[in-house]
Amino acid sequence: MTISGRHLRAAACATVLVLAMADSASAFTVCQVTDTGGIDDNSFNQTAWQGVLDAQEQLGVEGRFLESQAETDYEANINSLLGGQCGLIVTVGFLLGDATATAAAANPDQKFSIVDFAYDPVVPNIMAQVYATDQAAFLAGYVSAGMTKTDIVGTFGGINIPPVTIFMDGFVAGVNYYNDQKGTNVTVLGWNPETREGLFTNNFDSLDDGRAFAQNLYDEGADIVLPVAGPVGLGSAALADELGIEQLKIIGVDADLYLTDPAKQHVYLTSIVKRMDSTVFQVIEAAMTGTFEGGLIVGTLENGGVGLAPFHDMEALVPDELKSELETVRARVIDGSIEVGN
């Protein structure tokens, strides 16, 4: 379903409950609550839902989801899934952290998992899923610094929260590392890791904002832009499509947007991939097999939980020397020779 299709559906009803399988009532049921980006956001929620779909195919579970149309839906959506029908409730997004913790405390026998939020101390019935996306973003920053023709690249976020700014931190660090190694002076617009100030749309759904913010960065000289704002980035891709990739290239986030945004796939240099599908699947398997416990799963470059997507159509544009350097940098991040986020 397309983004426009989701908005048509959202206009019909505030919250949608979808039965993804109609197997026997005794099947293990996984229930997911999205953030406001929606289940088919071509990004964050959709990738997490893919983990449920994979579990349907491989483990025989039943999958359901509820879409949150506004932040005020979070608590109500979670509460509507309580009562024993869901073997596991998966909430997607940092902003659902408080609502998930409240529901977990009130329902200690219900298993929960949350994507992009961690609790300290650990909550016994919540398995958290977080990602070292700064590691993959570091690679994206390095390759962007090597590919820019203007010596200016840019980034902007949806909301100033840790799961967003971790991408921006890593991206800036990767550019800075390239500068240090090469003696260049590539500038990053849109985020200052030291002051924690930058450009934010304050939403995850306005394609118009995605276009406008990318336009502003382009007007200031950026020829590569990293939007860290879910579906908002699709607006940036539309601008790059109009300008042409010689003028503006886009870095995708969460999913490989070359695959999930086929109409604009040619504008993506690469994507910073978070394997929410993999970690969601792991949690489902643990819940089914009795090995579930409160704690933390961390996706890294080393375990494949995060990564950099292929260059796809831009493969021939990226110099072989830069590709070789990128593999070396990746190996050094994994072995700790390059410290990211410390």
% pLDDT > 90, the chain? 88
Asked if pLDDT for residue 2 goes beyond 90, the answer is no
Per-residue pLDDT, averaged over 215-243, amounts to: 97
Per-residue pLDDT, averaged over 239-257, amounts to: 97
d(CA 205, CA 130): 22
**The pLDDT of residue 84:** 81
d(CA 132, CA 163): 9
**The pLDDT of residue 296:** 95
Per-residue pLDDT, averaged over 75-99, amounts to: 96
Task: Return the domain boundaries, the chain.
Answer: 27-131+277-299, 133-274+311-335
Per-residue pLDDT, averaged over 297-323, amounts to: 96
Helix axis angle for 232-243 and 207-219, nearest 10°, is 50
Each residue's pLDDT tens digit, 128-170: 999 999 999 999 999 999 999 999 999 999 999 999 999 999 9
* 331 — pLDDT class (breaks 50, 70, 90): very high
User: What number does CATH give the domain 27-131+277-299?
Assistant: 3.40.50.2300
Asked if pLDDT for residue 12 goes beyond 80, the answer is no
Residue 90's nearest CA partner among 53, 57, 138, 59 is: 53
Q: Which residues lie closer than 8 Å to 120 by C-beta, 6 or more apart?
A: none
* 9 — pLDDT class (breaks 50, 70, 90): very low
Q: What is the pTM of this model?
A: 0.84
Q: Are 210 and 233 a contacting pair, CB within 8 Å?
A: yes
Residue 284's nearest CA partner among 65, 95, 62 is: 62
Per-residue pLDDT, averaged over 278-291, amounts to: 95
Enter the tokens of residue 308. Answer: 């950099």
List b or e across 64-92, with b for residues whose CB sees 16 or more CB atoms inside 10 angstroms.
bbbbbbeeebbbebbeebeeeebbbbbbb
**The pLDDT of residue 342:** 61
68: left (phi over 0), alpha (psi -120 to 50) or beta: beta
Name the CATH superfamily housing domain 133-274+311-335.
Response regulator (3.40.50.2300)
Per-residue pLDDT, averaged over 103-128, amounts to: 97
**The pLDDT of residue 80:** 96
The helix (run of H) or strand (run of E) holding residue 238 is: helix 232-243
**The pLDDT of residue 78:** 98
Using CB atoms within 10 A of its CB, is residue 259 exposed (0-12), middle (13-18) or buried (19+)?
middle
